[in-house]
């Protein structure tokens, strides 16, 4: 088996079949150096294909080998036949994954306040800053140019990647990852009109990120006006997500890119929010609610299920409405014709 450097990881097709399960057909000695798509030109890449369409694409691309369904016959390239090709490919991706690593415990260019507490097993990268009373727990890693503000805490084995910012009063649980450029603990967006100008409302609360939470690059999670903005355990966020002050996001939720959640909204467990979907302020969203992409929840949702549209409605209703919208032009034309006919009939009866 290859070493841990991405560029030198490799297995033969036979070795991979033993790891992933399945049976090799063709050249089992083919060396695989990378996962690949069905369209790839990599002769040492391994792709997967389940449908007739993608089997055809893979057969005519430059990819070296393919994971295919059981009983696939007469394929033109070496294959691993597997009962679940997509699942096998997922396992292949894990084999080739290389974790982010820091090589030094505390880089000499890191700036660490004398009152900060850093566990001996933690690592702090080049030009990172750890401010007063911050706590960096066992096995945590603070990557180059990251900023850990005063009174912040980074839990065990969590990673704060380059240029990420934990600004103030942020508690990050264990086994979390904060993506590059993410900002946690900046002031929430709140102002009041005093008769002459907008005056900022102080946000003196914090941010609580529970265990096993992943936060994407350039995501922003604002600190609370009072108490905490809370991200419950196991939740995962894509890049460019905005979570406002005092939001409470339920456990094991998944937010795709450009989701926005306005202030003080409470979202239940197992939420799934598609890209560019959003929630108005002060809502309560039930457990098990999913929003399709570009859906806007403008009022609270009491029942689990899939919702779509603006405002959010049950997905079947939304799809029916889409069909009607496509016909609106012809419906309007027919309505105008009917109005003309009614007027003509009125004239004949008068």
Residues designated as active site: 245
- Distance CA(258)–CA(37), nearest Å, equals 26
- Distance CA(290)–CA(190), nearest Å, equals 28
| Encoded tokens for 22 | 């399945």
Whether the Cβ atoms of residue 248 and residue 209 lie closer than 8 Å to each other? no
**What angle in degrees, to the nearest 10, is found between the helix axes of 85-96 and 13-20?**
110
- Distance CA(310)–CA(32), nearest Å, equals 47
Residues contacting residue 30 through CB under 8 Å, at least 6 positions apart = 12, 13, 44, 64, 65, 78
Whether the Cβ atoms of residue 114 and residue 134 lie closer than 8 Å to each other? no
The helix/strand/coil state of 171 is strand
| Encoded tokens for 53 | 């369409």
Q: Which DSSP string do the residues of 114-168 spell out, in sequence order?
A: TT-EE-TT-EE-TT-EE-TT-EE-TT-EE-TT-EE-TT-EE-TT-EE-TT-EE-S
- Nearest-Å Rg of the Cα atoms of the chain is 27
Q: Give the DSSP H or E segment for 340.
A: helix 328-349
How many other β-carbons are positioned within 10 Å of the β-carbon of residue 246? Answer: 25
- Distance CA(66)–CA(35), nearest Å, equals 10
């Amino acid at each position: 088996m290859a070493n841990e450097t991405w560029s030198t990881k490799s297995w033969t097709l036979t070795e991979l079949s033993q790891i992933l399960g399945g049976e090799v057909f063709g050249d089992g000695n083919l060396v695989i150096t990378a996962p690949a798509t069905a369209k790839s030109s990599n002769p040492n890449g391994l792709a997967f294909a389940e449908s007739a369409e993608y089997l055809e694409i893979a057969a005519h691309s430059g990819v070296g080998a393919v994971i295919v369904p059981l009983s696939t016959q007469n394929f033109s390239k070496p294959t691993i036949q597997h009962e679940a090709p997509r699942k096998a490919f997922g396992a292949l991706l894990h084999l080739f994954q290389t974790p982010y690593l820091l090589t030094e415990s505390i880089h000499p260019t890191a700036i660490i306040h004398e009152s900060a507490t850093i566990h001996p097993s933690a690592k702090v990268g080049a030009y990172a800053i750890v401010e007063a009373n911050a706590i960096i727990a066992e096995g945590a890693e603070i990557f180059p140019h990251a900023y850990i503000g005063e009174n912040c805490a980074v839990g065990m084995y969590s990673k704060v990647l380059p240029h990420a910012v934990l600004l103030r009063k942020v508690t990050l649980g264990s086994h979390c990852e904060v993506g590059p450029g993410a900002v946690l603990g900046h002031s929430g967006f709140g102002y009041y009109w005093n008769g002459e100008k907008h005056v900022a409302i102080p946000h003196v609360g914090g941010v609580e990120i529970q265990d096993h939470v992943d936060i994407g690059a350039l995501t922003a999670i604002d600190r609370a006006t009072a108490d905490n903005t809370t991200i419950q355990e196991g939740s995962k966020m894509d890049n460019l997500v905005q979570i406002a002050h005092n939001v409470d996001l339920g456990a094991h939720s998944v937010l795709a890119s450009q989701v926005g959640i306005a202030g003080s909204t409470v979202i239940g467990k197992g939420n799934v929010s598609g890209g560019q979907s959003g929630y108005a302020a002060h809502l309560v969203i039930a457990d098990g609610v999913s929003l399709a992409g570009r859906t806007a929840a403008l009022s609270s949702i009491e029942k689990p299920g899939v919702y779509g549209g603006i405002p959010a409605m049950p997905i079947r209703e939304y799809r029916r409405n889409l069909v009607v919208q496509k016909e609106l032009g012809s419906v309007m034309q027919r309505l105008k014709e009917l109005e003309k006919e009614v007027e003509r009939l009125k004239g004949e009866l008068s």
